[in-house]
Amino acid sequence: MDDRVDPTRIAEPDATVVTGAAGWFGRAFLDRLTDPAGDDRRRGPLRALVHRDDEALAIDGLDGVEPVVGDVARPRSLTPLFDGLGGAVDVIHAAGVIHPARTDEFVETNDRGTANVLAAARAAGVRRLVHVSSNSPFGTNTHPTDRFRNDEPYHPYLGYGRSKLRAELHVAAAVDEGMNAVIVRPPWFYGPFQPARQTTFFTMVRTGRFPIIGDGRQRRSMVYVDNLVDGVIAAELTPTPPGRAWWIADARPYPITEIVETVGAALAAEGFDVRPNRLRLPAVAGRLAERVDALVQRTGRYVAPLHVVGELGSTIACDISVATAELGYRPRVELAEGMGRSIRWCREQGLEL
Amino acid sequence: MTRHRTDVLVVGSGAGGATTACVLAEAGLEVLVVEEGPYVAQGDVVPFSLEQMQRQYRSGGVTAAIGFPSIAYTEGRCAGGGTEVNSGLYRRPPEETLDRWRREHAIDDFDTGELYDICDEVEKELSVQLVPGAATPASEVLRRGAAGLGWRHDEIPRWMEYPDGGAAEQGRRRSMTETYLPRAAAAGARLLTDTRVERLARGGRRARRAEITTADGQRGSIDFDHVVVCAGAIQTPALLQRSGLRGRIGTSLAVHPTVKLAARFDQRVNIPDDVPVQQVKEFAPDLSFGGSASRPGLVALALSDDWRRFGSAVTDWEQMAVYYAAITSQGRGRVVALPRLRDPLVTYRLTTRDRALLGRGLARLALVMLEAGATDVYPCYRGAPVVRQRADLATLQATFATSKASVMTVHLCSTVPFGGRDSRSAADSVGVVRGTDNVRVNDASLLPDAPGVNPQATVMAIAIRNARRFAAERRHG
């Protein structure tokens, strides 16, 4: 029996500001905060920063959501986010690029963009800011059974990792200057509101062409997007000292082979014709892809498949016990169920798998 | 030309040799122990000093294994061997390790309960205990840093005696010259120090005579019925090879490679005569952190990888201490005796995972130091950054390479692995060397791999077990 006592939470803020609101996490987060039947429904306004007018239109219908079109890379475009908000304001900073066209965007959006959001939030006197970081400031584990502890030495993985590391350092500097900011570190997401590249992932598994590198025993921590929403809300509303950072992931890391099998089974359960997976690459392919990716990134370009294959050969696995102890975070959904929901969501959206 | 004769010849007087000699002598056998190094009583030299390195270590302290990268190692060379000069940290062999050895190496009649009963005896004899009083400040650094990060850590007991409520540095070592060697002598065993065994002369499956040289160059010989070689994981296989025994001997050297750093604090942490008793075990057995001897000369040595940039820090040696990160390695090494050379050629190769783990280990250790309040951390490799804040750890991990580091090891083992597997065992389940009837090995060479903890408790327990089997066999045979 689990006899741990969850930490008490403070009341929801009078207003909530979300950056990256049209992104994968942002959409799932807004969905939760506007769900009239849910416990996490916010009564105050939800200011949602999006990039484009069409994204604004897509979320405009959500109850209480006030879309603001802007860009974290342009500080002046952030002013309307905080205009006229009174009382306690919390910021969830989820804007970021992960698979850009050019590596400059990492710096502009993830690094400088975070500094801009922190500056705007400080100027507005917000109550608390939750920064959504990543596993990539920490690189990869040295072997399949190693786990990243809550505190780990930085070892950023290429351009994305360096930009997310710089972002964490901006948060730490803001905390040193008196700001109440904390960090949530999610690994690889899955779940509803997934972008097109994740549809490719399902297609690869369905057609038996997902590249399993080496013996497939390397582990990956993943996070079902609603588990991440739980973690972010817990990080926002649990009174902890500023500057804390937590891994938010599913209960355990999954071996790559288990991920492929589970997704295959989930697809089959939804009536798809799934072919047995045959695409196995030697371990050296992963290392080679990583090196080529590093070289390509040095020229400022970014090739997503190269990046993904480069990372797939390694273990990226974290230990969530500190988030459980300090935030009362408990992942509610695990791989089989989450992937099933994810596939059904894609079908509802009319996406081809 | 001096000639000796004995029933049982024991070569070496360290954790394996001293316990073997004691068990056999107390069982009524005639025992002669031959030790290459000198007899130095506890208290005659300052612990961890340069003088100690010169008198009680082989080659004045450091020998290097050839490989990529080259790995330095040390061997005690004195009556009592490594137990006289090391940190005295005592850790029972983990149950999982014993289970794995029994299973994978088919070691016959290898009972965990029996070994732990022997550990009970050893712990009593050596007065193995925790520090009754205050730990050293350098030890406290490890405890504080690990506790701050929520990482598992604990105090390792040592073979030390303390005055009532004594502090760590007031301990007196219960080494072999204080325990099993005097007991062996009381039971009639003789000890011949400053005498090196060059080779064992054999006829077929039996060895009959040891050719010896004394420290002043005199040659001689010892005739025996049985020989037990306990010269440590480097010298044991080398002696067997010089005696014409090859096969699997010396082909599977296992070690715990370590990398180091020096950390500076804003108050005094350095107690030159003692080493920390805390170890950080959060990542055990893959990775462990502990404290190293930190005399001013050793602090300077730690800074010497990048002396031009780091050297000036040595003036603050009182505020500095040296720490290590040790890994269980997947690599293996070889020991090869070469004709006409006194010392064997030792090679060791780290795997890709080993190299990555050493770098990650060093970074995690630096994080412990920052958490404990270190103002400056100096990792021991060429071109290392001075780590002052967490962001610097990214630079550390980006620039670390084992080829730039001083990789070092003290826990050498597995060069004559025992067990019942034709494919890998060089000695049988009680240490009799394959292909012989009366040549035994009874030291760290027998351990099938590096156990992930300080190995001398394991060495003593296995040596006593095997010596008892041998004594029982002699009584009945």
pLDDT at A6: 80
**DSSP output for A33-78:** HT-TTSTT--SS-EEEEESSHHHHHHHHTSTTEEEEE--TTSGGGG
- Tell me if B353 and A153 make a contact (CB, 8 A cut-off): no
Q: Which of A161, A100, A159 is nearest to A133 (CA)?
A: A161
What local confidence, expressed as pLDDT, does residue B319 receive?
A: 97
Asked if B353's CB is within 8 angstroms of A322's CB, the reply is no
Question: Catalytic residue among B4, B105, B256, B411, which?
Answer: B411
Question: In the predicted model, is pLDDT for residue A27 greater than 70?
Answer: yes
CB contact under 8 A, B364 and A146: no
State pLDDT tens for residues A265-280.
Answer: 999 999 999 998 778 8
pLDDT tens digits for A215-240?
A: 989 999 999 999 999 999 999 999 99
Measured between beta carbons, which residues in chain A are less than 8 angstroms from residue B283?
Answer: 146
Residue of B353, B371, B390 lying closest to A154 (CB–CB)? B390
For A271, phi then psi, to 5°, come to 95, 10
**A288 CA: distance to closest CA in chain B (Å):** 14
Asked whether the predicted pLDDT for residue A24 surpasses 80, the reply is: yes
Inspect the interface and report whether the beta carbons of A152 and B364 lie closer than 8 Å.
yes
**All residues at 6 or more sequence positions from B234 whose CB lies less than 8 Å from its CB, including other chains:** B63, B73, B75, B253, B335, B344, B346, B412, B415
Q: For residues B331 and A277, what is the distance between their CA atoms, to the nearest angstrom?
A: 33
Q: Tell me, what's the pLDDT at A1?
A: 44
Contact B387, A177 (CB under 8 A): no
Strands (E) located in B384-438: 407-409
**Residue A152 forms contact with B (CB below 8 Å):** yes
A241 touches chain B (CB under 8 A): no
What the block records as the tokens of B151 is: 């990482």
- In three-state secondary structure terms, B100 is helix
Residue written as token pair 């994968």: A24
B86 membership: H or E segment, kind and range: none
Asked if A155 has any chain B CB less than 8 Å from its own CB, the reply is yes
Strand, coil or helix: what is A12? coil
Predicted pLDDT at B214: 96
Is the CB of B391 less than 8 angstroms away from the CB of A154? yes
Q: Could you say which residues from 309 to 348 on chain A have a Cβ atom under 8 Å away from some Cβ of chain B?
A: 322
| Backbone torsions φ then ψ of A220, nearest 5 degrees | -130, 130
Residues 6 or more apart whose CB falls under 8 angstroms from that of B13 comprise B21, B33, B35, B79, B80, B81, B176, B181, B191, B193, B230
Contacts of A172 in chain B (CB under 8 A): 390
In angstroms, the CA B181 to CA B33 distance is: 9
Give the side-chain half-sphere CA count within 13 A for B362. Answer: 36
The amino acid present at A13, given as its one-letter code, is: P
Question: The tokens of A10 are what?
Answer: 């403070």
Beta carbons of A322 and B366 less than 8 Å apart: no
Q: Summarize the confidence of residues A202-227 as an average pLDDT.
A: 93
Interface residues of chain B, partner chain A, Cβ below 8 Å: 149-151, 282-283, 286, 353, 356-357, 360, 363-364, 366-367, 371, 390-391, 393-394, 396-398
**Cβ–Cβ below 8 Å for B371 and A146:** no
A62/A21 Cα distance (integer angstroms): 12
CB contact under 8 A, A142 and B353: yes
pLDDT in tens, A126-181: 999 999 999 999 999 999 999 999 999 999 988 899 999 999 999 999 999 999 99
pLDDT at A32: 97
User: What CA–CA distance (Å, rounded) separates B107 from B105?
Assistant: 6
Residue with tokens 């804007």: A95
Q: Which of B165, B164, B163, B191 is nearest to B176 (CA)?
A: B191
Query: What value of ipTM does the predicted structure carry?
Result: 0.92
> A2 falls in which pLDDT band (50, 70, 90)?
low
CA distance A117 to A100: 20
Inspect the interface and report whether the beta carbons of A154 and B150 lie closer than 8 Å: no
> At a CB cut-off of 8 Å and minimum separation 6, what does B360 contact?
A142, A146, A153, A155, B287, B397
Core vs surface per residue B393-417: b (16+ CB within 10 A) or e: bbbbbeebebebbbbbbbbbbbbbb
Interchain contact, B394 vs A149, CB within 8 Å:
no
Chain A closest-CA separation from residue B151 CA (Å): 9
According to the model, what pLDDT value does residue B306 have?
86
User: Do B398 and A155 count as a contact with CB atoms less than 8 A apart?
Assistant: yes
> Is B69 or A23 the better-scoring residue by pLDDT?
A23
- Closest to A28 measured CA to CA, from A225, A248, A198, A189: A225
pLDDT tens sequence for chain B (477 residues): 799 999 999 999 999 999 999 999 999 999 999 999 999 998 888 888 878 878 888 877 777 777 666 788 888 999 999 999 888 999 999 999 999 999 999 999 999 999 999 999 999 999 999 999 999 999 999 999 999 999 999 999 999 999 999 999 999 999 999 999 999 999 999 999 999 999 999 999 999 999 999 999 999 999 999 999 999 999 999 999 999 999 899 999 999 999 999 999 999 999 988 899 999 999 999 999 999 989 888 898 889 888 889 988 899 999 999 999 999 999 999 999 998 888 899 999 999 999 999 999 999 999 999 999 999 999 999 999 999 999 999 999 999 999 999 898 879 999 999 999 989 999 999 999 999 999 999 999 999 999 989 999 999 999 999 999 999 998 876
Q: What share of chain A is helix, strand, coil (3-state, %, to 5)?
A: 45, 15, 40
Q: How many CB pairs under 8 A join A and B?
A: 53
**A165 neighbourhood in chain B, CB within 8 Å:** 391, 394
Dihedral sign of CA atoms A187, A188, A191, A195 in order: positive
Q: A3 pLDDT band (50/70/90 cuts)? A: low
Q: Which residue has the higher pLDDT, A353 or A331?
A: A331
The residue of chain A with its CA nearest to that of B354 is: A142
Contact (CB, 8 A) for A50 and A22: yes
A189 bridge partner residues = A223
Give the mutation candidate from B390, B393, B400 for the A interface (greatest A CB count, under 10 A).
Answer: B390
Q: Which residues of A touch B150 (CB under 8 A)?
A: 149-151, 322
Buried/exposed code over A55-75 (b: 16+ C-beta within 10 A; e: otherwise) = bbeebeebebbbbbebbbbeb
Among residues A171, A183, A188, the alpha carbon closest in space to that of A98 is found at A188
Whether the pLDDT of residue A301 is over 90: the answer is no
Share of chain A above pLDDT 70, in %: 99
Residue A113: DSSP 8-state: H
B411 catalytic per annotation: yes
CB proximity under 8 Å: A 166-185 to B: 169, 172
Among candidates A150, A155, A165 on the partner chain, residue whose Cβ is nearest the Cβ of B150: A150
Q: Are strands B153-155 and B278-280 parallel, antiparallel or unpaired?
A: antiparallel
- Which CATH number describes the domain made up of A15-193+222-249+317-332? 3.40.50.720
Best of B354, B389, B397 to substitute, by most chain A Cβ atoms within 10 angstroms, is: B397
Q: Kindly list the structural domains of chain B, giving each domain's residue range(s) and its CATH number in brackets, ordered by start.
A: 2-39+78-88+91-125+175-251+412-476 (3.50.50.60), 131-171+256-409 (3.30.410)
In angstroms, what separates the C-alpha of A113 from chain B's closest C-alpha? 19
Q: What proportion of chain A, given as a percentage, has pLDDT over 90?
A: 77
In this structure, is the dihedral angle defined by the CA atoms of residues A276, A278, A284 and A290, taken in order, positive or negative? negative
Q: Identify whether the C-beta of residue B59 lies closer than 8 Å to the C-beta of residue B343.
A: yes
With CA atoms as reference, the chain A residue closest to B282 would be: A149
- Put simply, the answer to whether B397 touches A153 (Cβ < 8 Å) is yes
Q: Among partner residues A142, A150, A153, which is closest to B366 by beta-carbon distance?
A: A153
**Contact (CB<8Å) A142/B367:** no
Decide: B264 and B386 in contact? Cβ < 8 Å. Answer: no
From the list A146, A150, A154, the residue facing B393 with the nearest CB is A154
Which residue in A140, A142, A168 has the most chain B C-beta atoms within 10 A of its own C-beta, making it the best mutation to test that interface?
A142
